[in-house]
Amino acid sequence: MAAAHTSKLVAFNESRRFMIDCFMAAKVPKDHAEAQADLLINADYRGHFSHGMNRLEMYINDLLINSTDGAIKPKIIKEGSSTAWVDGQNGLGAVVGNFCMDLAIKKAKEHGVGWVCAKRSNHYGMAGWYAIQAMEQGLIGISMTNTSPLVVATRSKQAVLGTNPLACAAPAKNDKFILDMATSAVAVGKIEIQRRKGEPLPQGWAQDPEGDITNDPELAFKTGCLLPLGGAEITSGYKGYGLSAMVDILSGVSSGALYSTQVRKWTHAGANSEANLGQVFIAVDPNSFAPDFEERMTDFNSRLRNATPTDPNKKVLLAGDKEDLAMKAVDKAGGIQYVQNQLESCDRLAKKLNIKPLQFLN
């Protein structure tokens, strides 16, 4: 069991190099490979390992079986002064996402707001990546995507929605607010971790085939029915259900992409059909409204962080604080710590793609 928890330290740039090499070996142009690798390495840097190198093999498998086109560029189908509708043309999620958020930022700077919807996109990784791009330009950034159906509707036995994440990032003076969350109670990866540990699930994570809440990780994984944020109806799970549906309306329905149970299932082996995910990218210039937004955001943040904690040893955190702590830990260690099963996956990929293996610092 101890071997499963063995880990090795990998330099940030080495991890990025390895992922770029993998994408280029799968016939992805260098600029697209770099865009996708930057998304993944920054997820690991920020402590979101589920959306970092952990997803690399899935992306590569999709590229190798041609269910994703790594070489295409998105195109604008319809455009207004502050809006745009984009066809991602089945390209890599980061390529589509960066294109759309760049467009939203441009429109926000010119007209106060930019709202861009994309269809025919693929898994776009950490939703916060795109919101942060707007925030770094002094704008409020928002991004949402629909995903493969894994979440039940309240009172349903069937998974009809994705984990459908949303992100919002707002600049403050020498500070920031970065919310990045799924609208399900928990990510499917957490079920996998409990399964590997052989430990029961906490209450409110998943259902069994009869629609009852289960604590059995094997049964939950096989059933594939996660509960929405809030869990069961009695603990307000219908709020998470409504929030997930809202994300799908804004990203899937409005963009002309697939939505709800129309979206394919996605596994580590890849998928034989096009994902056609829907995504939305919003940038807003806060200077269009009350002045001194960043100063007031700093005051707002301090009021939340300075709230009296229930445990004096655990200070109140703001959305984005945990990621800051994760990045400082990586900087201090000199690299990113990857677990053994992730390293084994990378070794298999290196052999399969005939590229230089991942190099370790220890």
Residues 198, 98: one domain?
Answer: no
161 and 92 co-located in one domain: yes
Report the candidate in 82, 133, 123, 78 with the shortest Cα–Cα distance to residue 267.
123
Q: Which residue has the higher pLDDT, 189 or 171?
A: 171
Question: pLDDT (tens digit, 9 = 90+) per residue, 334-348?
Answer: 999 998 888 999 999
Same domain, 215 and 239: no
Stretch 271-292: mean pLDDT: 94
Q: Print the domain residue range for 300.
A: 293-318
The token pair at 44 is 């690991």
Dist CA 83 CA 85 (whole Å)? 7
Q: If DSSP codes are grouped into helix, strand and coil, which group holds residue 220?
A: helix
Same domain flag for 110 and 257: yes
Residue 119 tokens read as 């269809």
Q: Which of 50-64, 77-91, 237-251, 315-329 has the lowest mean pLDDT?
A: 50-64
3-class SS at 78?
Answer: strand
> What band does 194 get if pLDDT is binned at 50, 70 and 90?
confident
230 part of a folded domain: no
Same domain? 212 vs 301: no
Read off the tokens for 114.
Answer: 């930019």
pLDDT of residue 269: 56
Is 21 in the same domain as 147?
no
Q: Which amino acid is at 175?
A: D
Give the CATH number, domain containing residue 4: 1.10.1530.10
The amino acid at 260: S
Q: Are 114 and 106 in contact (CB under 8 A)?
A: yes
pLDDT single digits (tens) 103-146: 999 999 999 999 999 999 999 999 999 999 999 999 999 999 99
Identify the DSSP state of 270. Answer: B
Tell whether the model's pLDDT for residue 271 goes beyond 70: no
Q: How confident is the model at residue 323 (pLDDT cuts 50, 70, 90)?
A: very high
Is 244 in the same domain as 157?
yes
Helix, strand, coil: what percent of the chain each, to 5?
45, 20, 35
Q: Are residues 249 and 156 in the same domain?
A: yes
Q: Pick from 6, 95, 3, 9: which is nearest to 44 by CA?
A: 9
Mean pLDDT of 202-215: 94
* Average pLDDT value for residue range 253-276: 87
Q: 69 φ, ψ to 5°?
A: -100, 105
- Does 221 score more than 90 pLDDT? no
Domain ends where: 203, 225, 247?
A: 225
Single out the residue of 290, 262, 282, 273 nearest to residue 103, CA to CA: 282
Total structural domains in the chain?
4
**What's the pLDDT at 270?**
57
